[in-house]
Amino acid sequence: MLAKKIREILAQREKKDIVLCDAPLSPAAVLLPLYQKQGEYHILLTRRTQKVGYHKGQISFPGGASHEHDRGLRDTALRETFEEIGVRPEDVEILGELDNMGTLTSNFLVTPFVGIIPYPYELTVNQDEIEELVEVPLSALADEKNHKEEVYIIEGIKFKAMMFDYQGHVIWGATARILEQFLDLLFPIIQNVQNR
């Protein structure tokens, strides 16, 4: 039911590129992994280690840069998800895509794929890349008590952006912008499904 509604909404919209700077951007993709746990929908995020090349210590979705052997960005998102947290590509039900989101500090154009993953699931965490798994209920992301608006300056340009703070986990940057779009598009439907 929920998967069908999300698929319909994502299929009906025209995708855009949301880019905040003029730098050339490299293609990348992430998976927004959605699953039901104890009667409520959650999103699985990761905290990156200090060993990775980009976004050290940040909360992010599983994903990364496109490789030349990937058949497309969907493959990139699924390959990276498997490499980082061990979810096999065949176990992900891709529902659609959100807008391509430009990063400000690492110069990627990130394509987010929304997918349903099984729960419970035996995850295999790549400890070189992932320091911690962060499970966030959708209801917590929608709760305005967990929203903060921040102003920050990158290369002399001032940006105002939404941040999420869930139990001390601060979600910002492109990840927060992707989450914000997902909630804006889908939360009324998700909330309706959860309240039944």
Residue 165 and residue 146 in contact, taking contact as beta carbons nearer than 8 Å: yes
Taking the C-alpha atoms of residue 60 and residue 62, their distance in angstroms, rounded to an integer, is: 6
Distance of CA 94 to the CA centre of its chain: 13
Tell me, what's the pLDDT at 111?
A: 98
Q: Where are the domains of the chain?
A: 2-141+172-186
Q: Which fold has domain 2-141+172-186?
A: Nucleoside Triphosphate Pyrophosphohydrolase (3.90.79)
Strands 100-102 and 108-116: what pairing? antiparallel
The ranges of the chain with pLDDT < 50 are: 194
Residue with tokens 């992301």: 141
Strand partners, 164: 147, 171
Residue 29 and residue 80 in contact, taking contact as beta carbons nearer than 8 Å: yes
- Report the predicted TM-score, pTM, of the whole model to 2 decimal places: 0.91
